[in-house]
Amino acid sequence: MAATQPQPGNRHYDVPDYPNPHQDVSSWWSFFFTGGYSFRWWSSPHLYFRPSLEYVPTPAPFTVIDGLGREETFDKPFDSYLDPFTGKIDTLYVQAPESICRLSSTRPNATWKRTPIRNVTPVLLRIANLPFRPIPGERRGDASKYTAEDWVVVISMWIPAVAAFLLSWMLWDSDPPPAKDKTKYLPIMYKGLRYPRMARNLLENSPQVAQRLKGHAAWNTPAALSTYRTFRPRFLNYLVEIERDGRTVYEYERRPVGPNDLTPFVMVCYSSAHYHIPNRSESGPEGNAGDLEILLAVATKAAVQHFSPLPSDLRQHPRAFWIAANCMPPDEDVDENGKVRLVQGFERETLANQDTYSISDIIRAAKHVIVVAGNATRPWDDGALRVWGQRVWTLPEIVLSKGETVTVWHYGDRPAPLKKCIVSEIPKALFPVYAWEDRLTSRQLIEHYSNLHLSRLELVKIALECLMSRKFRSLHPGDRVYVLMGLLRIRPPIDKTDSAFQAFARLSLPQDSDRLMERLICLLPYTPDQNWELMTDQYMASLWDIYPDTQVCAIGENDTVIVDGAKGAQIQWSEFTTVRTMRNYTLKRAVYLFLLTWSPLLFFTGIILVAVYSTPSAAVANPGYSTGVAILVISLFFFILPAPYFLWHLYSGKLWEVEPCFFGIEGYVPIEAIEERLFGTCPTQARRLRWSAWGSPLSRHKQGRVIHERTVKYRYHDNDDQAPLLQQQQQHYYYHGPPPAAVDVAAIDTYPVETIDPTSPCTACEHSAAAAAAAAAAGAPGRYYCQYHPTVASCQDMSRSAMGQMKVFTLIDTFNMTATLFYAERPPTVLVVGGSEGGMKRAIACSFDITTGTFYRETVLRIPSQSADRMEGLPRVRLGLRRPFLETDVRQTAQTMPMVQTNHPHNGV
């Protein structure tokens, strides 16, 4: 049971806004005596700080399945994780520096409980480090930076450390929990799978979904390839020849297309910005059909000119044009016999969905594409073609068209003698220059359908980029994706209830698109709310740079996917635990261990001898007394007093093997403080924990010390007066002629990779650092910023951000001995490996949403490939790219209370 310390009066804790990060990592006992915390006896962590924010209760209780398949029901969400030892759903505790722990009362910004950072080093090593504890952490590991005052402190604390060593001689440290495999990371226990919205395999769908899919073409069978294929338009505008005032003119006649009708036709494209085509339900000024009549007259004239000279008998050899304004009636369908019938209700909706795809098929079937830009009744606009190019449908109209050119009819009203119409033929390869803003991207799409083919992955990505750069008046959230479907081979049924992400996921499931969805989930967008359709990545990688290790086997509700074949590991946020290590058992360590084990016994033996034989009369002449004094002096000065030194060497040195663990910390903590609490204080030059070089977008590295590498340049016999090398090889010249001659032997400079603190100053920080020094002298220390990388001040600012905004977290990987700084909205509780990129694994860091049993992506980290071998395989997990959150989802707790004011020894950076 947890007990909260009582707080009298209206007081608060005086914690600086920008504390020294080394001194911000206070010991557990400093929290214990200052108060303001809650305490529980039987569970760990014992000491924690209650959050001042909580989730609002849900309208109805929700049920969640834990790691062992047991159901639990709750009425209010809370931050949680799946316990890897019990499988139960447990409350999330996050260790953090003191200034962040105190935010629970001074500036509520989180719903998770916070706890101090625990020291888990062996007790004897903590005693050995006791003389150095008063020294500031930023120079504690470097003896060359010690001041005279520091050495005085070390000497004065040495005797208490030795006394503590003698008192703790019989103590030993407990081993880690036996349930943890020392060769593996903590596993993820997940059993919360539900029926998906649509599965890749038809048999895995719910009975209702499976029955609906069977109503369409068979799922993932050859019959599915013909889904929504249109072999001919429903209606065409046929050119007809009539006599008027003694001359021949041409008009159009809209007729349904029969089953054996092979009439060649052209496609006429227009923009609603130039021609307002009313719906049948419109009336009044907006329903005026004048623009429709003008557009059809222009289309008729353009078709006649294209087909000129026309056949003498258009009944026997018809010609036609297709235009969306009147060839796609929403309530008229044509049966297989060419008869028109009216449709209503569900059939009308199905017809509208089919028209979405049929446009692309009609473009492919058309002999030529004619673009009508501008309106003869409106002023002339030189940029009319670019206005036309803003429509999203202009992309398939051009890239799918036949031929090498596109005809443009540019209309506009302007005074004589300037023409009101200019007809031009524009090569398709140059069309993006005249009509589209994204000329470089759209040019690649045009080349794909001509002679320079893109890969399947490149096609989808580039086509989606082109569609995203155009205006689109959508009826359903997934309409832009449905336009993309028209460019692809397999077209799944349209579902108007789909979101854009769900529509895209359903498109990717049956397509052979080089596992696009599997690659997409591994990307890290620049901001959490950035549209996924942009497919951006903070690591500057493209989709084709990622090699998936998983399979998206189904689509879930709420923009989630079901992932199979992944590996993953749990992140421990509540506290550090003892990390099992293996060191090389050298002779020096054996001697130190022998001395540390038996020197206290020898020392106490000397004390006993002196006490027993210390009679006032014969103490000097007694040999037992003399022996006791000798043993006491020798053991004290040669074995007991140097005991802290022996302990350092016993626990220091390289680690040959380390137990794999992922630990998480909220906020920025210096790596010296992290290592001190995990493995003990270590000299700077022998430090084992280091910052990751490229684990997150915040990671930084630089060139190390130059290393000279020998290089040899060869000259091959390939002169102008000799035969080419291939011909020389065919003539066996390579085997019988002279060998290549070494013409230059030199040395080149190579540099090892040296990792640096993500917050360390760069060359651009010199001015800011100088300003920070001036601010420190003025009494406002530790506050400077850089536009290129995070600083201590910017990290502390971000740690105070409101709930739902980006915060700073640190991930410690003991297997690779690295620490990674990253941004996320919530502390991710698991890492799910999704693929490989650039020689490293993409690990999707996810938080657990208890209301839906879903892992939501918080960030994406890059970890070494060998780390994946130490992770357990996962069952199918439900993964979302963006965790939904509204400001109204949380509220302040009723238990919020003022804190006690104390003077705290924090200094600025």
Calculate mean pLDDT across residues 49-58: 92
User: What pLDDT is recorded for position 342?
Assistant: 86
Above 70 in pLDDT, residue 395?
Answer: yes
pLDDT digits (tens, 9 = 90+) for 345-386: 777 777 776 776 678 888 888 999 999 999 988 999 999 999
The token pair at 223 is: 């019959």
| Banded model confidence at residue 897, pLDDT cuts 50, 70, 90 | very low
**DSSP 8-state secondary structure symbol assigned to residue 379:** B
Above 80 in pLDDT, residue 14?
Answer: no
Cα angle 864-865-868, degrees, rounded to a multiple of 5: 105
Above 70 in pLDDT, residue 13?
Answer: no
Above 60 in pLDDT, residue 10?
Answer: no
Please name the residue ranges forming H helices in 308-421.
324-327, 345-365, 384-389, 394-399
pLDDT digits (tens, 9 = 90+) for 705-752: 888 888 887 766 555 555 565 665 555 544 555 566 666 778 888 899
User: What pLDDT is recorded for position 768?
Assistant: 64
User: What pLDDT is recorded for position 226?
Assistant: 43
Least trusted range by pLDDT, from 36-50, 295-309, 429-443, 482-496: 482-496
- Which of the listed ranges 45-54, 146-155, 170-179 does the model predict with the highest average pLDDT? 45-54
User: What pLDDT is recorded for position 687?
Assistant: 80
pLDDT digits (tens, 9 = 90+) for 303-356: 999 998 888 888 888 999 999 888 888 888 888 777 888 888 777 777 776 776
User: What pLDDT is recorded for position 904?
Assistant: 37
Q: What are phi and psi of 357, to 5 degrees?
A: -85, -35
Closest CA to 852 of 483, 442, 494, 557: 557
| Banded model confidence at residue 466, pLDDT cuts 50, 70, 90 | confident
Greater pLDDT, 868 or 37: 868
User: What pLDDT is recorded for position 136?
Assistant: 79
Above 90 in pLDDT, residue 640?
Answer: no
H or E stretch covering 553: strand 551-556
Above 90 in pLDDT, residue 116?
Answer: yes
User: What pLDDT is recorded for position 3?
Assistant: 45
* SS3 sequence of 208-267: HHHHHHHHCCCCCCHHHHHCCCCCCCCEEEEEEEEEECCEEEEEEEEEECCCCCCCCEEE
User: What pLDDT is recorded for position 218?
Assistant: 39
Q: What are phi and psi of 256, to 5 degrees?
A: -70, 150
The amino acid at residue 22 is H
User: What pLDDT is recorded for position 908?
Assistant: 31
| Banded model confidence at residue 623, pLDDT cuts 50, 70, 90 | confident
Above 50 in pLDDT, residue 901?
Answer: no
pLDDT digits (tens, 9 = 90+) for 65-102: 998 989 999 999 999 999 999 999 999 999 999 999 98
| Banded model confidence at residue 874, pLDDT cuts 50, 70, 90 | very high
Report the alpha-carbon distance of residue 133 to residue 34 in Å, rounded.
20
SS3 763: helix
Above 80 in pLDDT, residue 279?
Answer: no
pLDDT digits (tens, 9 = 90+) for 290-305: 888 999 999 999 999 9
Report the alpha-carbon distance of residue 786 to residue 423 in Å, rounded.
56
User: What pLDDT is recorded for position 863?
Assistant: 96
Calculate mean pLDDT across residues 813-839: 95
The amino acid at residue 332 is E
Report the alpha-carbon distance of residue 248 to residue 241 in Å, rounded.
7
User: What pLDDT is recorded for position 873?
Assistant: 93
Least trusted range by pLDDT, from 145-149, 316-320, 467-471, 725-729: 725-729
Calculate mean pLDDT across residues 166-178: 63
pTM of the model: 0.83
Q: What are phi and psi of 111, to 5 degrees?
A: -105, -5
| Sequence-separated (6 or more) residues with CB below 8 Å from residue 551 | 515, 518, 563, 564, 565
Sheet with 405-411: list strands edge to edge: 247-256, 235-244, 320-322, 265-269, 369-373, 405-411, 421-427
Cβ atoms of residues 832 and 855 within 8 Å: yes
Cβ atoms of residues 129 and 681 within 8 Å: yes
The amino acid at residue 837 is E
> Could you write out the DSSP letters of every residue in 67-134?
TTS-EEEESS---EEE-TTT--EEE-EEE--HHHHTHHHHS---SSEEEPPPP-S-HHHHHHTGGGTT
Residue matched to tokens 């210096």 = 670
Report the alpha-carbon distance of residue 857 to residue 505 in Å, rounded.
17
Report the alpha-carbon distance of residue 255 to residue 237 in Å, rounded.
7
User: What pLDDT is recorded for position 283?
Assistant: 40
Calculate mean pLDDT across residues 129-151: 79
User: What pLDDT is recorded for position 285?
Assistant: 43
Average pLDDT of the chain, as a whole number: 82
* SS3 sequence of 325-345: HHHCCCCEEECCCCCEEECCH
Greater pLDDT, 509 or 673: 673
User: What pLDDT is recorded for position 890?
Assistant: 92
SS3 742: strand
Above 90 in pLDDT, residue 22?
Answer: no
> How far is it between the farthest Cα atoms of the chain?
155
Above 70 in pLDDT, residue 423?
Answer: yes
| Banded model confidence at residue 122, pLDDT cuts 50, 70, 90 | confident
Report the alpha-carbon distance of residue 492 to residue 487 in Å, rounded.
13
Packing angle, helices 623-635 and 587-612, rounded to 10 = 140
Least trusted range by pLDDT, from 172-176, 216-220, 455-459, 729-733: 216-220
| Sequence-separated (6 or more) residues with CB below 8 Å from residue 172 | none
